[in-house]
Amino acid sequence: MTKGSINVSVENIFPLIKKFLYSDHEIFLRELISNGTDATLKLKHLTSIGESKSEYGNPQIEVKIDKEGKKLHIIDQGLGMTAEEVEKYINQVAFSGAEEFLDKYKDSAQDSGIIGHFGLGFYSAFMVAEKVEIITKSHTGAEAAHWTCDGSPEFTLEPSDKADRGTEIILHIAEDSTEFLEEQRISALLNKYNKFMPIPIKFGTKEINDPDFTPETTTDAEGKETTEPHKQITVDNIINNPNPAWTKQPTELEAEDYKGFYRELYPMQFEEPLFHIHLNVDYPFNLTGILYFPKMTNDMNMQKDKIQLYQNQVYVTDNVEGIVPEFLTMLRGVIDSPDIPLNVSRSYLQADGAVKKISSYITRKVADKLKSLFNSNREDFEAKWDDIKIVIEYGMLSEEKFFEKADAFALYPSVDGKFYTYEELYNKTKANQTDKDGKLVILYASNKDQQHSYIEAAKAKGYEVLMLDSPIVSHLIQKLESSKENISFARVDGDHIDNLIKKEETTISKLTEEQQTTLDTLLKEVVPSEKFTVQLEAMDSDASPFIITQPEFMRRMKEMQQTGGGGGMNMFGNMPEIYNLIVNTNSPLVGDILEADSKESKERLITQSLDLARLSQGLLKGEELTNFIKRSYEMIK
């Protein structure tokens, strides 16, 4: 038997490991199973090139709980180690970076870094164990070895009678970590971290129907049939799928395979994904994965963290910020890359060059897939637009390269249910909706019901009105106005239609200047100035007599602030709602107001007309609405 001290100059490193390695001690199981997987895959390689004395066979990794003995066993059938290799890999190499590790992370425990980077993966066991044993036998057939360490730098190393190739790690669970002796806890961890590991992982057994058993049906004297019950057999409970869909080539998979994998990833998600994107690149970095577009809503605060990040089929995290462009964190699926370290701090990720390339690649790949889907089946793409637009619009705002590519597939729906690309929209509206200054004005609505009268007024002039109702539309149109030449967007209720798209011809007012002054004075006496700015406009006589609008700039700035942005102009968010009241001087009703026989009649007509305009905009509420209804009944009588 050999005794000795682990090669480390820092005394009592184990308490420091326990404290600093991770804020979350459950990681130990992932690390130890990853080591077992590596040992098995290395054996597979050596066997394939004829450098192993043993057959590869069908190895698996087994996790066993001994609750009574307070032990957790992780057993692999991989490469195994000789006593010399244990001495080299466990006692020396593991701690070559220990001092560097402590220097780097003792002041930032919660954001601590990379176990594997410092060769400390195995020692994560001491986060939950007071003593750890390794019983291992090498594939070379050398004598088995038994290593024991109780959490101090002292260890023992002696021969073992282990007959089978591979390594068994026995964790004597510490008193403060007995949760890891519970079957439910270990099962949950295996499902979280090891669901798609490339080597089968056994955790206990389960009963299944015997596939080779055919139940017999017998008939009694009365002719009643009885079928004997299925025969149950006990089999290993393999908790993982070693060959998940993303490890295969797209040509090997059918549409149903992608849907099946989605259900495997999200068993509690009952809606089918709209479509998927299979990522597969081996240069200038390695990356595989499948991303799914689920049905989206207009809720910008929807749950993110649905994409799972793996490194060689080992689960790392579902916080993929920095790796996946932010606008795509609303998607679901899996990304697997050996080029992303298993355990990294956020700042490390954001600064890493490979990670930035991966993010750019994913952006490009998603844009290409969207273009392909649009080109191959435009009708289907249009049908799904409402469910995916929030992601695409967010991408256009946040990623310049995506914005450039989006011209090929971003859609602009009209209130009549037609869909245009930007180029189609431009060509459709240029002739009719260019104003007297040569600027193309693109009209849009955000609510068909509330803005119905304004939409109809625009359509009466042959104008196209878009339906843009996402929460970030103000940001998006700001971006489009600054990126495209000589265009502006105007919401249909932002002003009277003739003011939104000003043409050369003007309508002459039927009122004299004196009448207009009288009308203006009358209106300002009745209309509350803190809520409305009064404008007299000469319009068609059949246009509405009173129209309420909200200035485009003011409304847009307030909306942008509500969803973040707006140039930091907080004053817009705090300002009261002020509307324009446009009064049509050519309306017969306005003539009636001026000709009314008493001041009281004039004021009543103005109040009633104003309230009708407010009612059409949903601005009449509470006591004012009650009074309006009462007054209307009186007028009917």
SS3 for 482-494 is HHCCCEEEEEHHH
Rounded Cα–Cα distance for residues 202 and 75 (Å): 10
Cross-strand partners of 159: 145
Q: Would the pLDDT of 182 be above 90?
A: yes
Q: What is the pLDDT of residue 366?
A: 92
What is the C-alpha separation between 112 and 432, in angstroms, rounded?
62
Residues 250-296 pLDDT 10s: 999 999 999 999 999 988 887 889 999 999 888 778 889 999 998 87
Q: What is the pLDDT of residue 304?
A: 61
List pLDDT tens digits, range 471-503: 888 889 999 999 999 999 999 988 888 888 888
Q: Does pLDDT of 557 surpass 60?
A: yes
Q: Which strands sit side by side in the sheet containing 166-173, from one edge to the other?
A: 2-5, 154-160, 144-149, 129-137, 166-173, 71-76, 61-66, 201-209, 232-238
Please tell me the predicted confidence (pLDDT) of residue 575: 59
Helix (H) or strand (E) holding 466: strand 465-467
Position 496 scores a pLDDT of: 82
- For residue 50, pLDDT over 60 is answered with yes
Q: For the CA atoms of 593, 598, 601, 606, what is the dihedral angle to 10 degrees?
A: 40
pLDDT at residue 569, rounded to an integer: 45
More confident residue, 302 or 105: 302
Mutual angle of helices 183-193 and 27-48, in 10-degree steps: 60
**Proportion of the chain above pLDDT 70, given as a percent:** 86
Cα–Cα distance list, 364 to 231, 295, 387, 400 (Å): 54, 21, 21, 11
As a whole number of angstroms, the distance between CA 183 and CA 110 comes to: 28
Mean pLDDT for 39-66 is 90
165 Cα distance to chain centroid: 44
Taking 80 as the threshold, does the pLDDT of residue 461 lie above it?
yes
pLDDT given at position 410: 96
Rounded to the nearest 5 percent, the helix, strand and coil shares of the chain are 40, 20, 35
pLDDT tier at 214, thresholds 50, 70, 90: confident
Q: State the Cα–Cα distance between residues 412 and 444, nearest whole angstrom.
A: 10
What is the pLDDT, as a whole number, of residue 342?
A: 53
CB atoms within 10 A of CB 362: 24
Structure tokens at 361: 């690649």
| Confidence at 113, pLDDT banded by 50, 70, 90 | very low
CA–CA gap between residue 588 and residue 301 (Å, rounded):
49
Contact between 320 and 296 under an 8 Å Cβ cutoff? The reply is no
As a whole number, mean pLDDT of residues 42-71 equals 91
Q: How far is CA 14 from CA 41, 84, 151, in A?
A: 29, 23, 6
Q: What angle do CA 404, 408, 413 make, to 5 degrees?
A: 110
pLDDT score of 399: 92
Helix segments in 134-293, DSSP class H: 183-193, 255-265
Phi/psi for 287 (5° steps) reads -155, 130
Q: What is the pLDDT of residue 510?
A: 86
Residue 368: half-sphere exposure toward Cβ, Cα within 13 Å: 9
pTM here is 0.74
Closest CA to 274 of 261, 260, 293: 293
Whole-number CA gyration radius for the chain: 36
- C-alpha 349, offset from chain centre: 18
Decide: helix, strand or coil at residue 460: helix
What are the two backbone dihedrals, phi and then psi, of residue 213, each rounded to the nearest 5 degrees? -100, 125
Q: Which residue has the higher pLDDT, 220 or 304?
A: 220
What DSSP string describes 332-369? EEEEE-TTS-SS--HHHHHH-HHHHHHHHHHHHHHHHH
Query: Is the model's pLDDT at 602 over the cut of 80?
Result: yes
**pLDDT reported for residue 348:** 52
Q: What is the pLDDT of residues 326-349, one digit of tens each?
A: 888 888 999 998 877 655 544 555
Closest of 2, 24, 16 to residue 152, by C-alpha: 16
Give the per-residue pLDDT at 360: 87
Q: How many CB atoms lie within 10 A of CB 430?
A: 11
Comparing 58-67, 126-135, 620-629, the range with the smallest average pLDDT is: 620-629
Q: Which of 491, 620, 465 is nearest to 553 (CA)?
A: 491
> Could you tell me whether strands 232-238 and 275-281 are parallel, antiparallel, or unpaired per DSSP bridges?
unpaired
Q: Check residue 115 and give its pLDDT.
A: 38
Query: For residues 144 and 208, which has the higher predicted lDDT (pLDDT)?
Result: 144
Residues of the chain with pLDDT > 90, as a percent, come to: 39
> Of residues 223 and 622, which shows the higher confidence score?
622
Return the bridge partners of 333, or none: 291, 307
pLDDT at 568 over 50: no
The pLDDT confidence band at residue 18, using thresholds 50, 70 and 90, is low
Tokens of 282: 């081996």
H-helix or E-strand containing 497?
helix 497-500
Q: Among candidates 249, 279, 300, 227, which has minimal Cα distance to 474?
A: 300
Q: What is the mean pLDDT of residues 536-540?
A: 84
Q: How far is CA 264 from CA 191, 201, 243, in A?
A: 11, 17, 12
Beta bridge partners of 71: 66, 172
What value does the mean pLDDT take over residues 422-439? 93
Contact 121, 146 (CB under 8 A): no
Considering only residues 261 and 52, tell me which one the structure prediction assigns the higher pLDDT. Answer: 261
Residue 87 has what pLDDT?
A: 84
| Residue 563: pLDDT band with limits 50, 70, 90 | low
| Mean pLDDT for the stretch of residues 616-625 | 84
Looking at 104-108, 234-238, 279-283, 458-462, which range is the least confident one?
104-108
Q: Please, which pLDDT band fits residue 118 given cuts at 50, 70 and 90?
A: very low
Looking at the predicted structure, is the pLDDT value of residue 91 above 90?
Answer: no
Alpha-helical (H) ranges within 224-292 are 255-265
Whether 111 has a pLDDT exceeding 50, the answer reads no
For the segment 19-31, the average pLDDT, to the nearest whole number, is 75
CA distance 158 to 234: 37
Which of the two residues, 374 and 504, has the higher pLDDT score?
Answer: 374
- Whether the per-residue pLDDT at 4 is higher than 70: the answer is no
